[in-house]
Chain A
Amino acid sequence: MIRIANASGFWGDQPDAAARLVAQQPDLDFLTLDYLAEVSLSIMAIMRAKDPTAAYARDFVEVLRSLVPFYQAGGKTKIVTNAGGLDPPACARACAEVLRATNLAHLRLATVTGDDVLPALRADPAAFANLETAAPLSSVAPRLVTANAYLGAGPIAEALHAGADIVITGRVADPSLTVGPCRAHFGWGETDYDRLAGATVAGHLIECGTQACGGFSTDWLDLPDNHDIGFPVVEISADGSCVVTKPAGTGGAVTVPTVKEQLLYEIGNPGNYLSPDVTVSFLTLHVDQFSENRVRVSGATGRAPTGAYKVSATYRDGYKAHGLLTIFGNDAVKKARYAGEGILRRLAARGCVYRETLIECLGTGASVRGLASRMSDTHLVETVLRVSVAADTKEPVERFTREIAPLVTCGPQGVTGYATGRPKILPIFGYWPCLIDRAAVRPTMALLPP
C-alpha cells in the first residue's frame, strides 16, 4: 500500500497545507501538488517576459521551505509537483538553494521536461486543429504564447527509480502526479491498464485539494468543521483500488457523496476518460463507505491510451477589465443598470470601441442570468454593479478603468465600495486544445547532481 496526499489543488491554494499534512500524518509516502490550470502557463509566460527566471510557480519554493523542519527531523515523504511550469530546471535550482542552505542537500531533485511543443505548432499550424471547434490553428498561430503536451507518469516513475525525492515537472496530466509514484512503488508496467486506471482515478480524486473531502460540495453547510476541511489522502493498493481518507482531526468529511461528486468533476464521457497513461472507464467503479471518513473506490477498468498527447495551447486575444461598485438604496438594481449603461455610453461618446461589454447586477441571480428570472430583483435594497469590457487593444480598456470611481459623484446617491482603486487590466488568453502524435514528443527526466 502507498499513501499519497494532495497539498495543492491549484496555483493559489492554501500555502500551509503541505506543512500541516506532514505534521498531521508523518507517514505519508508522497505529497502531490498541482499548480497548473488550463491557462496558468500563459500567466507564467507573461511573468517570464518581465523576469526570465520567473516562469514557474514560485509558491512551491515557499512550500518546500515550510517543510524544512520536517525533513531536518528525518521526514521521508517524497514530493511530486508540476510547479515547474514553463521552466522546471529553474524551479529545481531555486529548490536546490533552499535545500543547500538548510543542510538538506542529500535530498535529490529531478525534473521532467519535454512538454513544450510550441516549436512544433509554430512549424506546422495546419496539423493542430482545435479539438473543440475543429478550427485550423493558422488563424491564431502568430499570437501563440504557450503550447504544452500533457505528459504521463512514465518519466515521473523513472525519476523516482533513479532516487529522486522531489520531482518537478512542467505540464503533465494531473492524475499522472499520482500514477507516477504508484508505478515506481508497485513496479507496474505500461500495460497494467486496470491498475493504472485505478491509480488514475485515485489521482483524479485528490487533484483538487479539499474537494474530495467536502470542499465545493452540495451539502457543504452540513459538514463538520467546514472552516478547516482536511486535504485528501489516498491509500492505493497493489491492485489499483484505493481508500480515500483525510488526516484525523481535520474538518469536512469523506463520504460516498463527497467522493462521488469529485469523481465526476470536470469529466466528459465517464466511460472514456482519456489520460496519457490509460483510457479509463468510471462505469465499473464501486464506491463504498466502510468506516468514518474512509471510502473505498475499486473496480476501475482501463485500456490502452490513445496514440496522441493532448496539448493545451494559449494565444494572446486582447484585454479585458471588470469594474465593481456597490449601489444601496431604493430601486438599487434599476439605478445600477442605468449607472452601468451610463459608463458605456460615455465611453462610446469618446470613441472607445469594445468587442464585448457586460453589465451584471450581483445579487439578482446574475451568475446564471436568464435562469434566475423567477427571482424578483425589484425589492433588493443593495446590489453590486459589475461592468466588464473586452477589446483587441489595451487603450480602450485602460480608458474604461478610469470611468468606474467617478460614479461616486456623478451616479445615484448610495454608491460605495470604490476604495479598492482602479480595476486591473487583464490580458485575455485564448485556449487552444489540440492533439500531437506521441512520436513528436520527447519526455525527458533529469536527476540533479547531489
Chain B
Amino acid sequence: MIPLRQIAFARSGDKGASANVAVFARSPAAYAWLRDHLTATAVEEYFRPLGVGTVTRFEVPNLEALNFLLPAILAGGGSRSLRIDAQGKTLGMALLEMPVDAPAKFFSRS
C-alpha cells in the first residue's frame, strides 16, 4: 500500500456546508488506475468520520482528474461550523494520505 499522494495531487474547497475535492493523476496510467479504483464509495467510506453525505464522483478525463462532491462534510460550513477547518481546506491533503493498493510503476511524478 502507498499513500495516494504518490500518484496524485489534489485541491479541496467549500460550497456552503459541502466541499469538493478534485484528485489529479500524476501520469496517464495513474489516471486509468484512479478511474477504476478511487470510487465514490471508497471516498465516502474514507470521509465517513467527518459526517459526509452521499458522495458524487465526476470524471474529468481531459484533465486526468476525478472531482468528488462531499455533501454536509463541513458541519455547517462557513461561519456556522465550530471546527478548526470550517472550509474544507485540509480535505485534499487528507485524501492524499489515503492508503491505496496501486502498482509501483505509477509512482513517478508527471
Q: Report A's interface with B, CB cutoff 8 A.
A: 38-39, 42, 132, 216-219, 256-257, 260-271, 282-287, 317, 320, 322, 356-358, 360, 362, 366-373, 386, 388-390, 426-431, 433
Contact = CB atoms under 8 A, between A and B. Distances in A.
Interface in B1-60: 5, 9-11, 13-18, 20, 22, 24, 46-50, 58, 60
Contact of A263 (B63, B90, B94): B63
B100 interface: no
B70 to A, nearest CB: 11
A426 B79 contact: yes
A368 B85 contact: yes
Contact of A266 (B15, B24, B71, B78): B15
A284 B46 CA distance: 30
Q: How large is the interface on B (under 10, 10 to 19, 20 to 34, 35 or more residues)?
A: 35 or more
B80 A218 contact: no
B11 A265 contact: yes
Given A388-B82, A390-B82, 17 more contacts: A38-B16, A38-B78, A219-B9, A257-B24, A257-B110, A265-B13, A266-B13, A267-B13, A282-B63, A358-B82, A360-B84, A368-B50, A371-B46, A371-B94, A390-B80, A427-B79, A429-B80
A381 B78 CA distance: 32
Given A265-B13, A270-B67, A360-B84, A218 B96 contact: yes
A388 B82 CA distance: 6
Contacts of A430: 80
Contacts of A287: 62-63
Contacts of A270: 58, 60, 67
Contacts of A358: 82-83
B16 to A, nearest CB: 5
Contact of A267 (B47, B67, B84): B67
B60 A218 contact: no
Contacts of B5: 218
Nearest to A433: B16
Q: Mostly helix, strand, loop or mixed at chain A's interface?
A: mixed
Contacts of A285: 62-63
A232 B56 CA distance: 31
A227 to B, nearest CB: 20
A37 B91 CA distance: 19
A315 to B, nearest CB: 11
Contacts of B110: 256-257
A50 to B, nearest CB: 18
Contacts of B65: 260, 264
Nearest to A257: B9
A397 to B, nearest CB: 12
Given A264-B63, A264-B67, A283-B60, A431 B78 contact: yes
A132 B82 contact: no
Given A218-B9, A257-B9, A431 B63 contact: no
Given A320-B82, A431-B16, A431-B78, A267 B22 contact: yes
Contacts of A367: 83-85, 90, 94
Contacts of B77: 431
Contacts of B14: 266
